[in-house]
Structure 1
Amino acid sequence: MLRLEWLVVTLSALGTWGASLPGDVRCVTALYSAYNYITFAGLPAKGMFDTRCQNPLKVTSIYAASEIYCRDTERVAGLAQMAAECEEFGHHQLLPREAVAGNLTEDAIRGMRIVKYAELTRSDVMNAPVMISASYFNRVYNTIEALQFETWSHHAFGFVGYAYWGFFIVLAIGYRLCGWATYQRRDHNTGAGEIESQIYNPTGSWHTGLPLIRDTLGWLQTHLLVAPPFTSRGREVLLCIFSNRAEALAVSGFWIISITLSFVGYRTFEGNIYWPDIPSQILRYSADRTGIMSFANIPLLWLFGGRNNILIWATGWSFATFNVFHRHVARVATLQAVAHTILYLIIYYRTGKLWRAFNKTYIVWGLLGVLVMVFLLLTSLDRIRSGTYEIFLIVHVLLSILTLVGCFYIFRLNKIRATSARMTYDEATDVVRLEVLPATPFLSPSPGDYFFLYQPFRWTGWESHPFTVGAWSSQVESATGSSRTGKATDALDLSQQPLLSNAINQPDEPLPAEECEKECEVSNLKAIFWIRPYNGWTQHLRQQCLRSKVQPVETTILLEGPYGHHFPIWNYESVLMIMGGTGIASAVPYLQEHIRRSKNEWGESSKEKTYTRDIELVWTARQIGFLNEVANRELQPLLARQDFQATFYATRAFTCSPDDLNESACDIKLGRPHLQSLIMSRASDASSAGVSLVILVCGPAGMADEARAATHLAMRQGHSSIKYVEESFAW
């Protein structure tokens, strides 16, 4: 296939887009990607990051292979990135080299079994470290190298249109400035005759350039700005109307570049681990390329279509000229979008998943966006546009917005996941409990994470609202039907991932398509959000529940995220959590993490353990019903623990009967806690015992201010081993 090396070099120099994966880390990336296909005995035995970061046999194999296939700089950079990914995505520490050094001697590495690609299945369990063959490594490395290049080139080629039109705009601005300078020079002389004399007979060095400028402007005026589009005297060329030759040349060049870049520059080879045959590679790469280039043209559409366009003033071009450019950019973008859709449908058809594809939200929205673009193109034809211009204008704007919404759902897919959801509302708690079941198998929330939630099938479906994940659970099912509870698996089939998904930026994730169909695990993650209805969308959720005769109410929610960061409270021996209302959502994930870490599955030497010895939760809410609900569900596993105690406060004393107080296993008090006394007492106890204390606060601003002031007072009195952490309650 043709590779535009000159264009690659040029775009690299311009710095438009670099490869998403630095070159010095690709060697180690290829290694742990290759070892993703091999199953090792020992613990941990499940989960991509669990095994990659902590399984001694797999980690030893990666270290050993890096000694054979990677240069020193590549090994250092690649292992550093691997360790960072273990912490960021897997929430694990990479097993250090010293822990497995005994298996990394020259003799040990030389004695390892050499494994070829596809020699082992997922059911073949290795009881010792293994070495991948050179051909296996080269296959995976070349796949990652090709994917990184394609990812970069898709975006770089998408920006070529900006450079192309920017070049013409700069020329137009230069032409306008030259004309303005010549006019100013004429205006400052006594008459036209004198200026002509000075131009043709310059008397000073400053004037020597004026004849060249005049001749150049004259040539441009004669041969480009006044001349008919091409050889014909009419304005119509191939059913397209142009005012002059400059417009025709600019538009023709854009068409040529757009079509050419849609078909060239693909790095293909036999044996790609994601798409083994070359036709499949070309289909996938061209499908992504046309989609990204189409989306990149949308800002140009809006820029050229505006009547209050600053470029009209800068270039001197008329609105009619920009309108010509607007229409042709729209036609190119529409054809690219249609090609993108057709190519993806062919991909799904070839894999036998065409009908299943229509159950995916991003496919539906993408098809809707493309159909709207086609309809916009048809209705913008001259006869239709001129015959019903006012109606056309209104419809054109509305449909353009709908197109953007459709594109939004596709190109934000790297962060937005379609989910099914169930929601309930209890007037006694005045809280909407939203349980979402993400459709993606590679979502793994952490304490401190929050998501933006969308409810797409509404008039204002583009609105987003941030909420902290209150709690989650997951059950991982294998192809054989067995299940286990735990974290979501990260395995996926890249060949079926949509445009711009996370898999494009993390190419080491997937299993082979033919193998994943049979043996990949599926994680049924359930994330819980507690939403206090106020007004707007939250009030709409409440009304939906009240109108429904059956609860829970089924709905569709889009998740964008996760965002946020987690604070390592497990590094502190004593923890005090002060929560207000739905701020409990910040505490529960940390408590769930404490349960997991306190099992100490990884041994005393592992950083996965927790140093926390006692946790106290103080939670204030309006309704006792909300306190009871969470205590009897998400907090129930903690109530019997010796290292956990909780005190609940209800601020509405007259909304419950005394029997309600007896329904909870926790201590519920009426009123509010005295935070200064509470914090001073805990700070004093921590100082006396010589332990570290972290105070985690999430709630209304008044409560947070009181807690912060009390902590500051304790610090001033000498209790210095305190860490104050405040989670945002208001967005």
Structure 2
Amino acid sequence: MEEAVAQIYTTKNLGAQFYIDNFNNATKYEIDSTSITNKNSPIYSPTLPNMTYAKGYASELNVFYENYDNATYFGAGLCVYFAVVMLLGTIFTFLINVGASQKFVHPIVSYLRAYIIIPTMFSKGRNAQPMGGFKVFTGLFPDRVDSLICLGYTVLHIVFWAYPYHSSPAHTYTWTSQLEEIRRLVGDRSGIMAFGEIPLLILFGGRNNLLTFMTGFKYTSMIHFHKLVSRFMIIDALIHSVNYVLLFEQYWARALKTLYFVCGIAATTLAVAIWLFSFHPIRSRMYETFLYFHIIMVAGFVSMCWYHCRDMGFCEWIIAASVFWVFDRVVRVIRMSFFGYRTANLTLINDETFKVSVKRPKTYISSPGQYGFVYFADALLWFQSHPFTVYNDGENLVLYIKVKRGITKKIHNKLVANGGKMTKKLCIEGPYGESSPVGKYQNALLLTGGSGVPGIINHALTLSAKTKPQNIKFIWVYKTIKDLNFYFEDFLAKLKDSRVIVDIYLTRETSLEGAYLGTSTSTFGSSDEASYKDKHKAKEHTSFGQLPSFINFKLGKPNMEQLIKEEVESFGGGSVGIVACGPPVMMDHLKHAVSKEVVSYKDRIDYFDEFQTW
């Protein structure tokens, strides 16, 4: 090391000993500078000048760079926090996927899952539904386990903010006052921590995030983490900017002529604008506008951060964030390229929903519950993409798309004009999400509501085709029977001779007299059904005319607490895997109902929520 340093100052390789000998020689003949009476005469012996200034300046520099180091450690510490969280999630997900978690039925484990893992943030609160009032002050809240993860990050961040600043005793050699020194230290720490959070923002906001595959965290959870980190990053950026504005208040005009200062102001302004335009009322009402302005402003923000610090350091954080962003986009393009734009058949089901059927490429392999982002070929709205659950129907992929705004509304209007049928080219980017390992349980309870049925029915058909002995119950909560004929022909009829028990709750029907379902008037059923199915024969409705007897029709909206309790008890013991996807209200009620049943049930219950919202 000493030799490497020596090479900087001379072309000769003098070696470390040369400098040690010279130092020893100099100190041997050193005289005290205070003993020199005539300071105008030449000095022929080595001596040291007054070191007060040098020591004071060195003290301030030590404090300055110690704060730089601490801020870098703190920025890395925030990343390490989430690394630990993701590692724990990976371990738990692995145990669930291999079926080992079924053995953990200790009361303590059940209480932890009932009161921490499964429920909403607040008791009987909202998770899938937005919280707030007046349709303006609304927002999506994480569930309880995600909330605790966010709380841990919040506490850690506050600790990093509050970690002592070791102000130098002198603080007058570099700074005009101790207040000025503290402003610089606080501004630097918050600014560096803000940079450390940028890679987390990009990572959690990307679709092709390997962490969702490894940890079992839903994309919804990742977006909650994205929001949390972004808010702290903005606070850090504001603290950094305010302190620097105060430091430069006397040199404002000169500072505005420097690139790094102007880019810093632009980066902070863009960060605040991104945050303001990301509020739930704007996001929920103008999602497409929000999304593309979000992307443009984030690109501008990252660019400004780069030019702000390219000559000072810390750009490794920007490089890491850019790598995550580029990786996500490249993988998305690759996924879309493998699928290509294919001609799909579109069929109108009702005023709210239309069906899409497209031939599946051999490279597109999906599992029950996974979803894809659909791009419709359109001259004006080709860039819009929305996530929909994909249902495997032989060689075809089937999606049931709920009509909202933008491209889905435009296609719906064309379907109406074309008599309910048309063809259109589209591309599906995916599949995304993880398939719930409900096949690892002795009993499977599958619940869905409204148009959330594709993934759940896919689970039912997949499980029924397996030879593993398993009790399977499929429950669908739907409004009326008039649209069920469409779904019956598509997939309900396939459950006819399976071991799946089918219950359908019709929430807006008062009678089924004369109701018809299917293309035949024959009675459906099987004389050699499994023992579990025999227990439910008494529940089958066969007095409503031309209705298949293998489906148990029930009128009215079910009470979720009572339904979960009755269905779990009807299995007669054994581990239970519950998978659900439906309207937000139903999903929030289910979380509460399942969390209560987890404690009272003697065996293991695992709940898999396949509802996605952000």
- Which band: TM-score by shorter chain? 0.3 to 0.5
Per the normalisation by structure 1, the TM-score is: 0.37
Per the normalisation by structure 2, the TM-score is: 0.44
